[in-house]
Amino acid sequence: MPDARVEPLGKRLGYKKLFRVGKDVDILEGPAKAKGKSIIRSGDLEVIARGLKQAAVIGLLPKNLYASKRTLDSVRENEKLFFIPLSEVTCSEGVSLDGNLAKMRKLVRSILMTKVPFALISMAGSSECLMSSLQMIELAAFLGIEPAKAKESMGKLGEAL
């Protein structure tokens, strides 16, 4: 989406700023060295552990809506954020909504139990998948996150960047 359309859309949806992958933050899928602010996305615990030690890495994005206790502990110990991508529930293609909801609820429960700092993010692939800030808070509440905590966590990506 062109830059000129992004900010007005974000304001209408209730956000101060929309951040975009590739422009504001990069996602590292493998053992690459972070050049700018980056988020790790991997299922390999060794790649995650090495990535979380990099200063430019701000957190972890789950692979397949799953994170082991060891992974969550690593995020907490390295003082990084765990990113919860809500579009994995709302805009999943070819996957059961019920299955994704169940996986996301389990993931959220694990995050809350282990007291890992987290940020709610959209990760919308298009403007059609964007949710308003109120929709994100309602979905977070459905997943088990208190509305006040959900609202607070929506601003953590901006703070980390």
Tell me the three state secondary structure of residue 138.
Answer: helix
Among 55, 67, 59, smallest CA distance to 40 is for 59
Confidence label for 98 from pLDDT (cuts 50, 70 and 90): confident
Number of domains present in the structure of the chain: 1
- For the stretch 111-137, pLDDT in tens is 999 999 999 998 887 777 788 889 999
pTM for the predicted model, two decimal places: 0.87
Please say whether the beta carbons of 49 and 74 come within 8 A.
yes
CATH number where 65 lies: 3.20.20.140
- For the stretch 3-41, pLDDT in tens is 555 567 777 777 777 777 888 888 888 777 778 899 999
Please say whether the beta carbons of 41 and 60 come within 8 A.
yes
